[in-house]
Structures are given as C-alpha cells and as structure tokens.
Structure 1
C-alpha cells in the first residue's frame, strides 16, 4: 500500500474521543464506552461498545469484528464534522447525481447509470458528550430523524429526486458511558439498560427538582442538535453542488421533451410531419424554457398544483377540475403569448380543449401550462417557417 493510502489522520473531539482515519477505515475511539442507538450493518438497535467503525466495502467484507465494535460498510469515507458545544456530528455524503448539459443554458440532474440506481445520502454519527439514559438517547434518535426529514422536505426537491434521497443512509446517536458502570454491573448490558429507566430519586421533592433541572439540560441538547443537523444538511447540499432547474421540475411531472413534441405534432394539420419539423419544435421548446417569464409561469402552476393536490389550502378542492377554476387557463395563455404573441393564445385553445398525448394525463393546473408551452412553440416555428 502506498504512502498516501496508509497515511493516518487523527483528530480529537472532546477530551476522551478520538477519530482515526486511514485509506480503508474510520474509527471513533473512546476511553470509556459508548451507549449507541444505531442502524448499521453489523449491529442494528441498542449497543454498548468500545469503538464505532466505518470501513471500505472490501475491508468490511474481509474483516473479523469483535463485540467491542459496531461497523458499517460505506463507499465514500470522506466526511466532515459539525462541531458545537458538547456535540459533534460526523457527516458522510454519498451522492451519484450529476448535472448534465442539455443545451448551452439548460441542464438536468441525472445519475449516469439511471435514476433507479441513484444515491443521494447523508449519513450521520451524532456524538453527544454527556451520559444519557436509554430513554433520553432514544428520544434524541427520533428527533434527529425528524429534523433531517423536515429539512429536506422544506427544500422542495423535484419528486424523482426526493425519491432517491436518503434511502440508504445510516444514523448513529452515541454518548459516553463510563467503564466503571459496566464493570460494576459485571458487563451485564441488560442491567445497565434497565437501570437507565429507573434513576429517579425516592424523595418526591428532590425528584421533582432533579427532573426539572434535567429537563432544561435536555432541552439545550435538543436545540443544539437540531441546529447542528440543519447546518450539516446545508453543508451537505453545498458540498455536492447539486441544484435544480426547470427541466428537473418538468421531468418530475413525468413529462419528457419528446412527450411535448409528440403532443405538438398530434394537432399539426395541413403539413407533413417530418423529423426536421420535430427537431425544430424541440429546439424551440428548449429556447422557450430559457425565458425567465416562461419559467416563472410554469413553476407557479407546478407549485400551485402541488399545494392544491396535497390539500395545503383549506378553501381549495380541485379533485374534479372545477369549471370556475380558470387561473390555469390564464397561465397557459400567458405562456403561449409570451412565446409567440396573440396568435398563440388562439392555438392554445385547441391544445387546451383536445389535450393531445401527454396532456390528457396531467392535473388541472399543469395540463394548461404545458398546452400553452406547446401552442406557443408550434406558433413560433410556423411563424418562422
């Protein structure tokens, strides 16, 4: 093994925890022991262990781990640490998505081997530098999951990207537990876990005082953890350098550019359909999708329909595409007019009423905006023709 591969990197977090990284593994060591709640490969659940280990897949496959380790095989062992008062989060990013150029100005996020194999995972080991009982650490595990889910939901990624997000991530919540406790219990883990639920004082007044103080301490830890997870998630997105454009949101609706071309050609009368004509329409669609006003109108309808379909607006029910909802047509006509002027708004009416091809399967807001896009582009290429 070369020098670069065998070189070790060591970093200390807190007074008694050390991270050691080499080419094939990352090991987190403590002077005492960890109480950990985890969903790793070797161990899944609750453990009292000496070290946490992340291994390369080959190393993991050939390793013989003893009971003092919980471990996970992970393709990308690069990580970053989010440190705060009394807490450290080790973040492992695993992302296969890339931005691919469609035109000089339009890009789409794709996985080179197909979205069915895509990965966009943020795995975390959260170390809280305070001894916690089992009930407390389970609560923090729950909060960590909920925080990350809510953060990424708030980002409003395109649906097909949301579907590959964090499907294979791992999460570990760990805190130190002293060797003294373990030795005095004869290494009986079950006894430690049982005791962790029964640590209240027998004196009621003293118990209430301890409970109140502890509640405040745990609230501080919770708030710090939530903020640290959000910072880590933002750092993760910044690092992988993935953003989303209009094509990503169109593809999320189950629509391809070829679908739009097919729908445009379906109502093309009086002229022979040729590959040259299809290519012209496709080029015009791409050109129109670079117009910020067309983008704004499309996104307005897409986001609006998402809110309506998910019942986020109490006063709105679009289940039956009510006749009194005409804003979708206003947006469709605005898109057609933006692309090719007044004549395109008349062409829009044909596409809106007949809903050729892909348009027939779209929702009440979305079908009209894509009818407007097609109508505008068809009018534009025949104007030039």
Structure 2
C-alpha cells in the first residue's frame, strides 16, 4: 500500500520528495485521522479528523462528538468535500494560522447548511442511477478534469462533450485529480484525457480539441444541441460566447485568490446568466483568477510568491457534481443560484445569493421566443420561466 501511495504522489508531482511509511520517526507535525475511527484524536493537540458520507462532510480537532456515519458507496460528494476540508486545515497550520484546541464542523452539500452535529443536517436521497442527457463540459483544466474524475465515480449516464484546446503542462498537475506527469511529458490534450477516462464508464464521451467558439463555428452546437452546459473555462471570451448562443441550463464554477470557491447557475429566463455577475466591471474581457495565493514570508523581503491550493479546484468540481445530483430532486432548484465558500476560516459558512434575469449586456436583449424555440427540446426545459409561486 505504501508503494502505491508513493507512486500516486510521484505521478501528481514528479519534482517532489514523498515518503510513505508506517513507522513514525520523531514527532509528527500533524496527525490526520480519516473516517469514523478517530478516538485517538482526543489527546492530540495537533490531531485533525475528517469524515463524510452521502451529502455530509465534516472535519475537526479533538474527538468527533457524533456517532459513526452510515456510508453510501455510490455517493462521492460528502467524502470528497471532507478530504478538501482536511487538506485545507493542514495548509492553514502550515502557514501558522492559529488553531482552536477543539472544534467540529459539518456541512450538508444538499442545502449548504452548517452545524457542529451532522445529525441536524439534511442527508437527502441520492440518485444512484441518473441520465444527465447531453452535456457540454467547456474547459477541462484544474476544475474540469477533477469534475470528470468525480463523475467517473458515479453510476450515472450521459453523452458528454469535452471541449478544450489546451495540452497538459507540469504546473497543471498540482491542482487536478486526474492529470499525471506522463500527461504533461506527452503534452496530451486535456479533453482527450477526460474522454479516455469516461470511455470505461456508462457515459458516452467525445473530445473536441479547440475552444468553444471553434466548437460553435464548426456546427457542433446545432448538430448536437445540449441539455446542460458546465463551464470551467475562463479565457477567449468563453462566457460571453456561451451566453450569446442561447445556452440551456448552465452551471459554472471558479476559484479565487482568497482561498475561495464559487458556483453559479443559470436557468434561462429565470436567473442571471453566466455573464451577469461581472459585466459592470469589465464586460466580456473579464477573466476569473485561478486558485493561486500569496505565500506569506514575514522574515524575508516583501516579494509575492504564488502557490496553488490543491483543494480549491476539486472542491469547486464537487459543488457542481452536487448540483447535478439535485436535478433528480422533485424540489429542484434546492439552493439559490450563486454560492460562495472560503476555506480560509474555521467554521466557515456557505454564502448564497439569488439573482434574477436580464441584467448584463448579453442577456438583457435576448428574445424569450428564441430562447423557448432553441431550448424546447432540452431535457431541463421545464425549469425555464418564472419561479413557482
């Protein structure tokens, strides 16, 4: 097992120096306990535990105060987000952030509620099998590739088109669950890697080596109209291009420099579009930042050093995967259409806002009649229009 873990680390970072051993030499900086067996954490000031199942994810310091969870092997959402919480906690300690001796934080990714006790949170039903329809994944980089990896862990089905013009490079490895050093060495196209991964599942994947504008120009949009678009790209005016072509139900996710992630949803004619949040500042030239942060160097000359927080991109992908799972719920949409979360603080909260349609320079003049005509065959067309009373 140790050899397998070391090989996994080397694939992710061929320039690192990783050793996995069952023997502890000296005093460890941290103890990380994974799963429900965390009784030993109670006497460790530097002990961290993580746990998760279904929609629920938790982490803390000191023994968990809740009973052991019932695990759902078909739902990766809670456990995956718990892993992100645990890694973020290690990073906070590594940069010298003050830590409380004892705390317990649990989250439900179904309704984004937070509690110290998981039994008070919603762990709703989860669709073990689900046909997503035809999906466009625009952008297969850090978030997009992690999303494809997580999607491969489900029993769902789709016809999915991966759209990306970029090959993998070595800096991409630290923020993706999927890319390896071999991909970077061979300069493999990101969309192709995602296609190869899902080719062994119930999904029907297609890879397009190009950007979304080229995809549209080559007639792919009219030939294969989508039921759903997930956008993880942020360059070549991709957001405005998507909206200009009357998209169906659309999700997007980005990371921030402030240890944050955010998620946006656009139900046509009902919620703001993929461009609405940013148009006032920079209109179609806006490019969201990646998951980079400044590494503090208090005893050295002031010089910005950028580093990747590897948990941000997977966490963003998890939020989108959770939103897909909710599509099977009779109460959809469950949450509001813009969600933010920061890993910078303990006991952080998901912040949500709801925003109506017709705000930006792209969508404000788009015809409802054209929208209805284009989206009439979409699997999720029933969501369009005014929200239910």
**Structure with greater helix percent:** 1
Structure with greater Cα Rg = 1
